[in-house]
Structure 1
Amino acid sequence: MSEPVTGERPAHRDPDVLRWLGAYASSAIGDNIYYVALSWAAVQAGTPSQAGLVMAVSAVPRALLMLGGGVVADRFGPRRVLIAGNGARCAAVVAVAVLLLVSSPGLWLLGLLALVFGAVDAMLMPALGALPTRIAPRGQLARVQGMRGMASRLAHVVGAPLGGLCVALGGAAAAFGAAALLFAAALLFATALPLLMAVRMGRGPQEWSAGQEAPGRPPASRELRDGLRHIRRNPVLARLMAVIALSDLGFVGPLNVGLILLADERGWGAAGMGWVLAGFGAGAGAMSLLLTVRGRVPRAGLVLSVSIGVGAVAIGALAYVPTLAAAVGTALAVGLLAGLSGTLCGALVQTESDPAYVGRVTSVSGLFSLGLAPLTFPVTGAAIARWGTGPVFAASAGVCVLGGLIGLSSRALRHAELPG
Structure 2
Amino acid sequence: MITYFSKPTNRGFTIFLMVVATHFISLLGSSVARFGLGVWAYQSTGQVSSFAVVLVAGFLPAIVLSPFIGIWIDRKGPRLLILLGDIIGLIISSIIFSSLLLGNISMVHVIAGAISLSIVSSMQTPALQTLAPNLVPKEMLSRANGVFSMASSTSDVLGPVIGGVIMGFGSIVYIIGAELVTYCIAIPILLILWTKLSVKVNNDNEDSHENNSILGDLKYGFNYLIEHKSLLTLVLLFTVLNFALGFNQVVGQPYILSFGTVEQFGLLSSIYGGGMVLGGVLMSFIKLKKHIIWLVLISNFGIGVFITLTGLFNNMLLIAVFWGGLGLLLPVVNTGTLTLIQLHTEPKLLGRVFSIARTFAWISLPLAYIIGGILADKLVASNVNIIPYLGSGERGVYGTLLLLAGGLIILTVAIFAQLKYIKELDRREENDVQHNV
**Hey, what's the Cα distance between the residues in 1 that align with 2:243 and 2:428?**
23
**Hey, what's the Cα distance between the residues in 2 that align with 1:124 and 1:381?**
30
Query: Quick one: which amino acid aligns to residue 147 of structure 2?
Result: M
Partner of 1:409 in structure 2?
A: 419
Query: Quick one: which amino acid aligns to residue 369 of structure 1?
Result: A
2:15·2:196 contact (CA, 8 Å) conserved in 1?
A: no
**Hey, what's the Cα distance between the residues in 2 that align with 1:185 and 1:401?**
43
Q: Does 1:248 align with 2:245?
A: no
RMSD between aligned residues:
2.6
**Hey, what's the Cα distance between the residues in 2 that align with 1:282 and 1:112?**
31
Partner of 2:402 in structure 1?
A: 393
CA distance 1:68–1:140, change in 2 (3 Å): same
1:63·1:372 contact (CA, 8 Å) conserved in 2?
A: no
CA distance 1:397–1:413, change in 2 (3 Å): farther
Query: Quick one: which amino acid aligns to residue 356 of structure 1?
Result: K
Q: Counterparts in 2 of 1:158-197, with a 5 A limit?
A: 158-195=158-195, 197=197
CA distance 1:382–1:416, change in 2 (3 Å): farther
**Hey, what's the Cα distance between the residues in 2 that align with 1:10 and 1:327?**
43
SS of equivalent to 1:105? coil
- Displacement of 1:393 after TM fit? 1.4
CA distance 1:188–1:232, change in 2 (3 Å): farther
Q: Does 1:307 align with 2:299?
A: yes
Query: Quick one: which amino acid aligns to residue 68 of structure 2?
Result: G
Q: Does 1:119 align with 2:112?
A: no
Q: Does 1:292 align with 2:302?
A: no
Query: Quick one: which amino acid aligns to residue 118 of structure 1?
Result: S
- Displacement of 1:20 after TM fit? 1.6
CA distance 1:415–1:23, change in 2 (3 Å): same
- Displacement of 1:205 after TM fit? 4.1
Q: Does 1:228 align with 2:238?
A: no
**Hey, what's the Cα distance between the residues in 2 that align with 1:97 and 1:384?**
38
**Hey, what's the Cα distance between the residues in 2 that align with 1:358 and 1:330?**
35
SS of equivalent to 1:319? helix
**Hey, what's the Cα distance between the residues in 2 that align with 1:246 and 1:67?**
19
SS of equivalent to 1:284? helix
SS of equivalent to 2:10? coil
Query: Quick one: which amino acid aligns to residue 212 of structure 2?
Result: P
1:248·1:400 contact (CA, 8 Å) conserved in 2?
A: no
- Displacement of 1:58 after TM fit? 2.2
Partner of 2:10 in structure 1?
A: 9
1:68·1:123 contact (CA, 8 Å) conserved in 2?
A: no
Partner of 1:328 in structure 2?
A: 320
SS of equivalent to 1:131? helix
1:305·1:414 contact (CA, 8 Å) conserved in 2?
A: no
**Hey, what's the Cα distance between the residues in 2 that align with 1:162 and 1:396?**
31
**Hey, what's the Cα distance between the residues in 2 that align with 1:328 and 1:51?**
27
Partner of 2:359 in structure 1?
A: 367
Map Cα deviations across residues 336-389 of structure 1 (whole Å, 9 max, x no partner). 322211210011111211111111111122123334313421321222233411
CA distance 1:336–1:36, change in 2 (3 Å): closer
**Hey, what's the Cα distance between the residues in 1 that align with 2:106 and 2:112?**
11
Query: Quick one: which amino acid aligns to residue 90 of structure 2?
Result: C
**Hey, what's the Cα distance between the residues in 2 that align with 1:357 and 1:417?**
20
Partner of 1:157 in structure 2?
A: 157
- Unpaired runs of 5+ residues, structure 2, are 380-396, 432-437
- Displacement of 1:44 after TM fit? 4.3
1:298·1:417 contact (CA, 8 Å) conserved in 2?
A: yes
Query: Quick one: which amino acid aligns to residue 9 of structure 1?
Result: N
- Displacement of 1:167 after TM fit? 2.6
- Displacement of 1:10 after TM fit? 7.8
1:134·1:197 contact (CA, 8 Å) conserved in 2?
A: no
> How many residue pairs align between the two structures?
401
Partner of 1:213 in structure 2?
A: none
Partner of 2:369 in structure 1?
A: 377
Partner of 1:24 in structure 2?
A: 23
**Hey, what's the Cα distance between the residues in 2 that align with 1:235 and 1:345?**
15
- Displacement of 1:165 after TM fit? 2.6
Q: Does 1:261 align with 2:254?
A: yes
CA distance 1:374–1:129, change in 2 (3 Å): farther
- Displacement of 1:80 after TM fit? 0.3
Partner of 1:70 in structure 2?
A: 70
Aligned mate of 1:271, from 263, 266, 269: 263
2:17·2:147 contact (CA, 8 Å) conserved in 1?
A: no
1:302·1:415 contact (CA, 8 Å) conserved in 2?
A: no
**Hey, what's the Cα distance between the residues in 2 that align with 1:418 and 1:147?**
22
SS of equivalent to 2:312? coil
CA distance 1:47–1:225, change in 2 (3 Å): same
Q: TM-score scaled to structure 2, two decimals?
A: 0.84
1:150·1:285 contact (CA, 8 Å) conserved in 2?
A: yes
CA distance 1:328–1:44, change in 2 (3 Å): closer
1:42·1:51 contact (CA, 8 Å) conserved in 2?
A: yes
